[in-house]
A and B are shown apart, each in its own frame.
Chain A
Amino acid sequence: MLSDNRIKAPVQDGVVNQLVQASKVQDWDPSAMLDNLSFLEQKIHQLQDLVHLIIGRKGQVLGRPDELVVQQQQLVTADLTSIIVQLISTAGSLLPSGKHTLPAATPSLEQSGQFGGVVFPSAQGPLNDGFQPQNAGGSKVSGLPNSVDISRKNGNEQNHIIEEHELKDEEDVEEGESLIPGTYEILQLEKEEILAPHTHFCTICGKGFKRDANLRMHMRGHGDEYKTPGALAKPNKESGSEPTIIKRYSCPYTGCKRNKDHKKFQPLKTILCVKNHYKRTHCDKSYICSRCNTKKFSVIADLKTHEKHCGKDKWLCSCGTTFSRKDKLFGHIALFQGHTPAIPLEEAKAPAGPSDQGDGNQSTNKVGSMNFNFSSNVSSESEVQSSTDIKGSIDDPAGYFSPLSFDTCNFGGFHEFPRPPFDDSESSLAFLLSGSCNYPQKSED
């Protein structure tokens, strides 16, 4: 509930900003803007009252989870987000004229300060000085409409401060790309949000979506204003309502190199990067390959990629070492004197001549069926997986299925994942596997 207060400040601050800017910019309709702002003011007051009400009641029924409270909380969130959205669109009406200054302004801190009250957290413009921490929060929301959850779920003040501090003191330039610290905005999603199934939320009803496009489609149901071509178009193609600010992300895990507190902080480029990074590095690897039973993954896409190759490309050296890739095997052979690649045994068994092919097919069929048996264990396997899955997300029972559904594979579809037909189709290529199985025999001759 604290967060609600927090959020309001930046909103107001944003309004102040708008007003300040308004005096400078000529190409917009001040009366329309005024209408908007007064509407927003009204809304904010309503909200304030509501929150006051909640606070009052909370004192009475302290510590007891109340359904009503939850409902109201949701209401507040919805209202807040709608305010934010409207704020953005109001600010957006200023942007076409402001665009001229934007590219030139980016490198210069002073100039960007004028503009950056909204978007550049690092800005030290004279106008915004006193409001900076809040500014950062505001900018965060405006930069990423769907990251409303950040403020919804937890108190973020600490983060905001850290972020500010971080951005000011940061001197290390990222290795991968040479972005100067401060020229980009750093956002940090919370763990719950990273592991949440949806990334786009309806500002009115709170429904979550995996894709923004789906959200926009959904929004049509909330009124005619969402049916306009402008509202349905991709946000960044809209006439600059989304400023072209470079955004980078920080991992919420303290001590991680991808966390902004880290001395050699390397930001993550996209939300997807954040999600994958967080799952790969800071979550349990709960997906086990059903073929080899050894490889574990925390991102289901990784498992899928692995399963495509698992057992199929066994590149084998005469020393018994196996490689998943041919170039790795050849690198190994180049390095070690006397090592040679092992040749799959089927060829050796097959008599000279045409039966080569026939026998080859037979043996691969055998392998195929073997693989089939392998994967028939899958049902039990998936049980194991789901149990470990529970362990992995035990602290967040709500997000229990979420990692699955995030990867476009909801739990219902999970069963079809290690599907036997898949193995069948691979059987023609699976001969190498059996070759590696037979390897010990081969080495005898």
Chain B
Amino acid sequence: MPPFQSNKNILSLTEDLLVRIYEILVSESDRKSFRLACREFLRIDSLTRKHLRILRIEFLPVLLHKYPRLQSLDLSACPRIEDGVVSLLLSQVGPASNSLRFGNWTRGLKSLVLSRATGLRFSGLEMLARACPCLESVDVSYCCGFGDREAAALSFAVGLRELNMDKCLGLTDVGLAKIAVGCLKLEKLSLKWCMEITDLGVDLLCKKCVDLKFLDVSYLKVTNESLHSIASLLKLEALGLMACPLIDDVGLQFIERGCPLLKAIDVSRCQGLSSSGLMFVVRGHGNLLELNAGYCLSELSTALLHQIKNLKHLEVIRIDGARIPESSFQVISANCKSLVEIGVSKCVGVTNMGLMRLVSGCINLRVLNLTCCHSITDAAISAIANSCRNLVCLKLESCNMITEKGLCQLGSFCLLLEEIDLTDCCGVNDKGLEYLSRCSELSCLKLGLCSNISDKGLSYISSNCKKIHELDLYRCTGIGDDGLDSLSSGCKELKKLNLSYCNEVSDRGLGYIGRLEELCDLEMRALNKITGVGLESVAAGCKRLADLDLKHCEKVDDLGFWALAYYSRNLRQINLSYCAISDMALCLVMGNLTRLQEAKLVHLCNVTVEGFELALRACCIRIKKVKLLATLRFMLSAEILETLHARGCIIRWD
């Protein structure tokens, strides 16, 4: 480097260059390091930050103040968002406030994620919708209490283009009509599980929101009438009809003649459909890119196949659960050259020969789901590996005949492999993992029920697959503390780990787990060697831990739970069923963990009714879902139950 440049420090870069650098950083932890580097970087961060996902409502006013250019706000992880908070935010940091230097935080806001915001109601929603003039996208999925009032509130966001209302159980045709009339620019709408919606509502929607490009009416009790209305949408590109029990082939006939731009259709689990219905769709839409017909066909008929082969651009096809004649693979392979993803899980008739023919033509395959195709062997895997060098995701659950040879081929040729599911493949052993570890891009590895692997195999993976985010070792009884040692030193990016029923794991192993700073989801059911010490090291080490399952960890004592209550402040879900937790510790856990949203608390033999009462009182303002023994229903006070209900908390009585 020339000397004059080395004199200059990085701060001499102009602001726009710094912004560019900042924008290259994708991972949240990298951005965190960036903004912690110096004040200038922090300033860059706050000036350029467009997306904010907050975990604690108490920081929201400060953060909104700090990030004036926010375009997207995610409050889905924030348990305590409610109408009062919204009105406070709007008045304090809103247009009425003089303290705000950068102006109104709502002015530029385009996207609002309020998924599972059960504390929020229509008045808060209405305030938000009215305050954000540029709002384009709202997600209120899984707000089970939402209904027509909330929909009416949302309809004030006239510029809305995307709306997700999955599982807003109270939504009826009336609310949908409000949205259809209010938000005429709507392009994307998801209504999964909004069970009250009928043909009338869908019909009105299709008449008013003619710009719809994406519509999901999965699980609704709509009939062919709705499909008739939907067929009139000229811009529709993707249609989700998963598990609509009342639609049949006649309805798909409407789709054949309508929706000229349709690119993707999902009719999986539609009980009323047959292959002739699918033939209508395929015949009408030669440019279809995605066809999901999982579990709706009993057999891939030759007539349908004859139609499918005209889909020259087809990229994704899923026909899970169907019987597939071996010759079909040849036809697909010869005609659908652009296929990127094939799903044939649980299909009858998937053979080595069939797969070999398939991959001989479809060399661009990136995703292949062969779950429960029991008859395939290493020969098929070898053919796949040799032909599909771009394979990213391979699902082989329950393919028992696969051995190290197949994995060797994958390790040699599929170097881009990111995800592989080998659950219940008893042929997988340490040697196989050694071969597989050559796939250094691997980020998700599922080895559940692979009882033939040991710490040695895991060490190969740990040392070579540094990018692993998710590892499933469910019932891998050969895995012990040493394996976790190598794992914690190799896979530093591990976010999700399942150690359930790995009986050999002890407190020492959990000590290693505590080194995984990124870990946020840990399942360790029935580890009967671990005690409070092990839990303490996990709680103290894994600061990001959000989801913890301790069911049947019966030796863990209060020491561990105290540590949990003290350290794991980011915990959102916990399963403490069958644990030996005491009244005191339970109250502490439930009261201290201010982000806790879901708790499963059944069969806690050391906890009294008073203990439950106090624990629930301690968390009632933020908990959203709690599982309790049914007997408690009549023992807990009516007040606490009412309060929980009022806060939108769902109690599941076991």
Contact = CB atoms under 8 A, between A and B. Distances in A.
Contacts of A339: 181
A338 B158 CA distance: 12
B152 A338 contact: no
Interface in A307-328: 326-327
Interface in A336-358: 338-341, 343, 347-348, 351-356
Contacts of A15: none
B645 A347 contact: no
A330 interface: yes
A202 interface: no
Interface stretch (B36-44, B103-111, B203-211, B341-349): B203-211
A330 B208 CA distance: 11
User: Chain A, interface size: which category?
Assistant: 10 to 19
Nearest to B83: A352
Nearest to B178: A340
A205 B182 CA distance: 72
Contacts of B152: 340, 343
B149 interface: yes
Interface residues of B, number: 29
A340 B648 contact: no
B147 interface: yes
A334 interface: yes
A366 B647 CA distance: 26
Contacts of B642: 354-355
A340 B200 contact: no
B208 A343 contact: no
A353 B647 contact: yes
Interface in B176-210: 177-178, 181-182, 200-201, 203-204, 207-208
Give the most central of B83, B177, B648: most A CB within 10 Å.
B177
A333 interface: yes
B501 to A, nearest CB: 39
B121 A352 contact: yes
A339 B204 CA distance: 12
Contact of A353 (B173, B203, B648): B648
A318 to B, nearest CB: 9
Interface in B147-168: 147-149, 152, 155
A358 to B, nearest CB: 9
Contacts of B147: 347
Contact of A330 (B178, B182, B204): B204
A46 B201 CA distance: 74
Given A330-B177, A330-B200, A334-B208, A340 B182 contact: yes
B52 interface: no
Contacts, number: 58
A347 B145 CA distance: 12
A338 B173 CA distance: 16
Contacts of B119: 352
B261 interface: no
Interface string A405-429: 0000000000000000000000000
B648 A327 contact: no
B646 interface: yes
Given A347-B149, A348-B149, A330 B203 contact: yes
B648 A352 contact: yes
Nearest to B646: A353
Contacts of A333: 177, 181, 204
Nearest to A341: B174
Give the interface centre of B149, B642, B648 by most chain A CB atoms within 10 Å.
B149
B645 A353 contact: yes
Nearest to B207: A334
Contacts of B647: 353
A327 B229 CA distance: 14
B203 A334 contact: yes
A91 to B, nearest CB: 51
A424 B83 CA distance: 36
Given A330-B177, A353-B647, A354-B642, A343 B148 contact: yes
A352 B208 contact: no
Interface string B73-94: 0000000001100000000000
| B122, B181, B207 — most chain A CB neighbours (10 Å) | B181
Contacts of A327: 200
Contacts of B182: 340
Nearest to B124: A352
A351 B646 contact: yes
Given A333-B204, A334-B207, A340 B177 contact: yes
Contacts of A354: 642, 645-646
A338 B181 contact: yes
Interface string A243-265: 00000000000000000000000
A282 B201 CA distance: 40
Contacts of B174: 341, 343
Contacts of A348: 122, 149
Contacts of A343: 148-149, 152, 174-175, 178
A325 to B, nearest CB: 10
A354 B119 CA distance: 11
A340 B646 contact: no
Contacts of B207: 334
A326 B148 contact: no
Contact of A341 (B149, B178, B645, B646): B178
Contacts of A352: 82-83, 119, 121, 145, 646, 648
A334 B204 contact: yes
A336 to B, nearest CB: 10
B420 to A, nearest CB: 45
Contacts of A351: 646
Interface string A98-140: 0000000000000000000000000000000000000000000
Contacts of B645: 353-354
B509 to A, nearest CB: 44
Contacts of B175: 343
Contacts of A353: 145, 645-648
A72 B648 CA distance: 83
A92 B646 CA distance: 77
Contacts of A356: 145
Given A330-B173, A353-B646, A340 B148 contact: no
Contacts of B646: 351-355
A316 to B, nearest CB: 10
Interface string B33-59: 000000000000000000000000000
A347 B123 CA distance: 12
Contacts of B82: 352
Contacts of A341: 173-174, 177-178
A356 B122 CA distance: 13
A341 B174 CA distance: 6
A330 B173 CA distance: 9
Interface in A163-199: none
B340 to A, nearest CB: 40
Contacts of B200: 326-327, 330
A348 B148 CA distance: 10
Interface in B96-143: 119, 121-122
Nearest to B201: A330
A354 B204 CA distance: 31
A338 B149 CA distance: 17
A130 to B, nearest CB: 60
Q: Which 10 A-B pairs have the closest CB atoms?
A: A354-B645, A353-B646, A352-B121, A341-B174, A340-B181, A330-B200, A334-B207, A343-B148, A341-B177, A347-B149
23 contacts: A326-B200, A330-B173, A330-B201, A334-B203, A334-B207, A339-B181, A340-B155, A340-B181, A341-B177, A343-B149, A343-B152, A343-B174, A347-B147, A347-B149, A348-B122, A348-B149, A352-B82, A352-B83, A352-B119, A354-B645, A354-B646, A355-B642, A355-B646
Given A348-B149, A353-B145, 19 more contacts: A326-B173, A326-B200, A327-B200, A330-B177, A330-B204, A334-B203, A334-B204, A334-B207, A334-B208, A340-B152, A340-B178, A343-B149, A343-B178, A348-B122, A352-B82, A352-B121, A353-B645, A353-B647, A354-B645
